[in-house]
Structure 1
Amino acid sequence: MGTRAGLSVVTVVLVSIWLFASIGLSFAEKSAFVRYVIDGDTIVLKKGTKVRYRGINAPEIPHKDKPGEPFGWEATKRNRQLVRGRLVRLVQDDEKRDRFGRLLAYVFLPDGRMVNEILVREGMAFVCFSEKGSSFSKKLLAAQREAIDAGRGIWSISQVRPEPYYVGNRQSLRFHRPSCPYGKKISKTNRVIFKSRTDACKEGFCRCKKCLP
C-alpha cells in the first residue's frame, strides 16, 4: 500500500471515529436491546430510555384509578412477544420526544418489519398521527384500514355508546363525540363531520383521549 493510500485510509477511519463520537447517545440508541415492555406502545431500552411508538396508540391497561380498555392487555402481550429481549432499530422523524420526555420512534425488528405497523395491522393499536405528520403515515393507515375491514382485535368488538355522528379536527387529526367540550371548540375551517367512528379512523383521525369516542 502506497503512502497516499495509507493516509487516505487513516483519514477515513479518523473521520468516522469523530463522527460516531460526536453523535454520542443519539447514535447509540439507534439500535438497542429492549429490556422491558410497559404496554402496547411503550418500551424501555437496555440503558433505561423509554420509547413511545410513533404514529400509533394502543388501548390502555389498568393504571391507578383507571380501569383500562378492551384489548389493553392483549396489545401489551403482543408487543412483549415482538420485542422483549431483542435488538431493535429505532427510526425517528422531526418530532423526537413527546411531552413526557419519551423518545418517539418507529421500531423495526431484525427482519425489517415495523412493530408499529404490525400492532396496527393486527388490531392491537389505533393509528394516531400528530399535526406534524408522520414519515410512515400511508403505510400505517393502510394497515389500519386492513384491520378494520377484517374485524381484527379492537375492531372485532362493538363500540361503546355509539353516537349519531362524530366531530373531527382537520388540524389536530383528532375526532370527538358531539358533546365533547374539545369538539365544540373546533373552528368551522377545521371542523369535519364523520358518520361513524370507523369512517374517522379510516381517514387517519385519532380518538380524543377525554371523550373516548
Structure 2
Amino acid sequence: MGTRAGLSIMTVVLVSIWFLASIEFCFAEKSVFVRHVIDGDTIVLKKGTKVRYRGINSPEIPHKDKTGEPLGWEATKRNKQLVQGRLVRLVQDDEKRDRFGRLLAYVFLPDGRMVNEILVREGMAFVCFSEKGSSFSKRLLAAQREAIDAGRGIWSIPPVRPEPYYVGNRKTLRFHRPSCPYGKKMSKSNRIIFKSRSDACKEGFCRCKKCLP
C-alpha cells in the first residue's frame, strides 16, 4: 500500500512539473530592443536577430524580382512608428522559428498592446495562422473581422482580379483562386468554398502566397 501511495505521489509531482514546464515553454517571454524594421511583419533586434510576427502577414514590399503589394510601404511605415528604436516584449508559443530561422513571436509594447493585433485591426496585415494554431488566434481574428467590417487599410481596396469563388483548405487554413495548382491538389474532405475573399478571411483562412487571391 505504501509503495503504491508513493508511486501515486511521485506521478502527481512529475505531471505537475511537466505541466509547469509546458506553460513556460509555450509562453516564453523576453524584453528586447528593436534596431530596425524590415517590413510590416518583420523586425531586427539589437544584436541582429530577425523576428517574424506570429499569426499575421503584412502586404509585401518590392523585393528582388517581386513587385510589392498595395499598402506594403504603409504597413512598413506603421510598424516603424510602433516599434523602431523601442523596447518591446516578445511572447512565443510552441512554434519558435519559421523555416528561414527567424524567431516567431507576438510583440507587445510597454503599454501592453500587441503590435500584431494593432496592425491587423488597422488593416495593415492579414491574419495568417499555421496548422498548429495560435495562442492569440481569437484576438487576432476578432481584430481582422473588425477591420473588414470597417473597411480599413487593405480592406478599403478592391481585390485584384476578383474570382466568382475561392477554395479553402481546412487542413492548412489557406485559400486559393479556383485555378491555383495548390488549390487543385487538396483532398475533397479538406475543401471548402467561399463566395468572397473577405468571407474566407473572416473565418481565419490565409491567402495562398502563390496565387495571391
Calculate the TM-score normalised by the size of structure 2. 0.86
Say whether 1:125 aligns with 2:136: no
TM-score (norm 1): 0.86
Q: Is the counterpart of residue 144 in structure 1 residue 151 in structure 2?
A: no
Q: Secondary structure at the match of 2:78?
A: helix
1:138-179 CA-partner distances (Å, limit 9, x unpaired): 000000000000000000011111101100000100000000
1:31 counterpart residue number: 31
Tell me the secondary structure at the aligned position of residue 82 of structure 1: helix
Q: Which aligned pairs between 1:155-166 and structure 2 lie closer than 5 A? A: 155-166=155-166
Tell me how far 1:64 sits from its aligned partner: 1.1
Q: Which runs of 4+ in 1 moved over 6 A?
A: none
Q: Who is 1:113 aligned against?
A: 113
Distance 1:120 1:127 in 2: 7
Q: Return the alpha-carbon distance in structure 2 between the equivalents of residues 32 and 117 of structure 1.
A: 19
Give the whole-Å Cα distance in 1 for the aligned partners of 2:96 and 2:71.
28
Residues in 1 aligned to 2:93 and 2:189: alpha-carbon distance in whole angstroms: 28
Q: Distance in 1 between matches of 2:208 and 2:124?
A: 18
C-alpha distance in structure 1 between counterparts of 2:62 and 2:211, whole Å: 17
TM-superposed deviation, 1:197? 0.4
The amino acid across from 1:179 in the alignment is S
Residue in structure 1 matched with residue 4 of structure 2 by the alignment: none
3-state SS, counterpart of residue 189 of structure 2: coil
Aligned partner of 1:69 in structure 2 is 69
- The alpha-carbon deviation at position 47 of structure 1 amounts to 1.0
Aligned to 2:205: 205
Q: Name structure 2 gaps, 5 residues minimum.
A: 1-27
> Hey, what's the Cα distance between the residues in 1 that align with 2:102 and 2:65?
23
Residue 96 of structure 1 pairs with residue 96 of structure 2: yes
What SS class does the counterpart of residue 189 from structure 1 fall into? helix
Query: Amino acid of the residue matched to residue 53 of structure 2?
Result: Y
Q: Using the alignment, how far apart are the partners of 1:113 and 1:170 within structure 2? A: 30
Q: Quote the Cα distance in structure 2 between the aligned partners of 1:195 and 1:154.
A: 18
In the TM superposition, residue 131 of structure 1 has moved relative to its aligned partner by 0.3
Aligned partner of 1:84 in structure 2 is 84
RMSD: 1.2
Query: Counterparts of 2:64 and 2:101 in 1: how far apart (Å)?
Result: 21
CA distance in 1, matches of 2:92, 2:54: 8
Match of 1:57? Answer: 57
- Counterpart of 2:194 in structure 1 is 194
Which residues of structure 1 form unaligned runs of 5+? 1-26
- How far residue 80 of structure 1 moved from its aligned partner, in angstroms, is 0.2
